[in-house]
Structure 1
Amino acid sequence: MGGKAENVPVSSLLPFPPTIPIGSLAAGPQPVLAAAGGLVLRPWESGDVAAFFGAYQDPVIQHWHPRHPASEDEVRKWFEQYRQGWAEEQGASWAVTRGGGEVLGRMALGHMDLYAGTAICAYWVLPSARGAGVAPSALIAVSAWALGAAGFHRLHLSHSTRNDASCRVAVKAGFPLEGTKRSEAVHADGRHDMHLHARIRGDA
């Protein structure tokens, strides 16, 4: 058949309603979340640019996070993308801070699918804050909000099978290991197998 193709949203073709009502997240600001140990997770601010850029100078963060900003100007663009991602209900990124001030790390939800009710978690912690439970506390806080008030059903995360620290964070935060994705990710030193962890609504 000929004629002009109609631009029909994929969501309108699905035979079931979304797990999370479309527009419900973006209707309000990205939440500020409290975590154990006096941690506060808040949206990134302009004053965080130097701390964020400095984090990606750390060899450990560079190794496990191949994509990193080349300059502080690029960080500002990333922050704008984070704001846009929330407005479009596609993602959320938080500065993990000590009481809302000093930046200790990053926690994020990406690839948010409101129909399926799923999202991917990602995180890093600055060298000075490692070993103090910052990452698991922040991941627990984000998970409680996402699987609770936000309405997601499943959260998952992946890390290299060689990244033992990230594996411990996931397990401590209630994300059991589900399996291994062989040769899935490319790092500077070649391809890595990746562990898949997940947590669903109703898990302890």
Structure 2
Amino acid sequence: MADTRGHTLDPSLPEPRGHGLHLRPWDAGSDADAATWLRGCLDPEFQRWNTPLKQWADLSGARESLRARAREAEEGVAASFRVTDEESGTTLGHIGVNEINRPLRLARVGYWVLPEARGRGVATRALLLASRWAFTELGLHRLELGHALGHTASCRVAERCGYPSEGTLREAMFEAGRRDAFRDVHLHARLATDEEPAAYDGR
């Protein structure tokens, strides 16, 4: 089997900026980042659509989760960003370029938005930024995005960002809060050769 791990992500790569956002790496040593990560991952709307492989529910678990993200960056297999307002620096959510496969120039993207930041196009703007970064800075060719079937908000974000639907993956993720039952996943993808979507105007 081919080695899918890449080189350590270069810390000198520019942090994505634009659309009123600044994507910054999470800091595993920051109490504020750990508390925000905990709040985002325990949010009922997040848990409705996602079931993390490893469950945790306290600051200690949040810190370990962020340390794991940092290790993935060191191994070159993922990049995790804290989505912040470009002017105020306020944290609005998270976006990750995950499961980076260098030989195939492929990765999967995922995101969530804090409750108080929803309804402002944050996920759309962050996905546009992260996609451009992955194509230009990492040289990837294909980005995949999967969400639980029925998650219409995530479906709209994908389509606005140039990720057309490619079909349904049967029972490809856990049911909410369970590991003994599965649900279908709606698959979207975008290629580096696809036309760049227009800047999001918030509508």
Question: TM-score, normalised on structure 2?
Answer: 0.84
Aligned amino acid, residue 83 of structure 1: A
What letter matches 2:80 in structure 1? S
The Cα offsets for residues 92-146 of structure 1, whole Å up to 9 and x where unpaired, read as: 1100011272111110011100111000000001111111110010001010011
Q: Does 1:61 align with 2:49?
A: no
Contact kept, 8 Å, 1:43 with 1:93, in 2: the verdict is: yes
Corresponding residue of 1:35:
18
How many angstroms apart in 1 are the aligned matches of 2:102 and 2:139?
A: 9
How far does residue 199 in structure 1 lie from its aligned partner after superposition?
Answer: 0.4
Aligned residue number for residue 188 of structure 2? 197
2:9 aligned with 1:26: yes
- Tell me whether 1:72 sits opposite 2:55 in the alignment: no
The corresponding residue for 1:95 is 82
Question: SS of 1:141's equivalent?
Answer: helix
- Unaligned runs of at least 5 residues, structure 1: 1-8, 12-17
**For residue 170 of structure 2, what is the aligned residue in structure 1?**
182
Deviation at 1:29, TM superposition (A): 4.1
Query: Residues 170 and 76 of structure 1: is their aligned pair in 2 closer, same or farther, counting only changes over 3 Å?
Result: same
In the TM superposition, structure 1's runs of 4+ consecutive aligned residues that sit over 6 Å from their partners are: none
- Counterpart contact for 1:161–1:194, Cα < 8 Å: yes
RMSD across aligned C-alpha pairs, in angstroms? Answer: 2.1
Aligned residues: 186
* Partner of residue 112 from structure 1, selected from 93, 100, 104: 100
> Identity, % of aligned pairs?
36
Q: Secondary structure of the equivalent of 2:76?
A: coil
TM-score of the two chains, using structure 1 as the length reference: 0.84
**1-side partners of 2:124 and 2:92: how far apart?**
13
Counterpart residue type for residue 71 of structure 2: Q
Listed one character per residue, the Cα deviations across residues 56-106 of structure 1 (whole Å, up to 9, x for unaligned) are: 232111111212532111111111111111111011110001127211111
**Runs (5+) with no aligned partner, structure 2:** 196-203
2:119 aligned counterpart, secondary structure:
coil
CA distance in 1, matches of 2:14, 2:100: 16
Q: Which residue of 1 aligns with 2:34?
A: 49
**Taking structure 1 as reference, are residues 161 and 42 closer, same or farther at Cα in structure 2, changes over 3 Å only?**
same
Question: Is contact 2:42–2:57 with CA below 8 Å preserved after alignment?
Answer: no
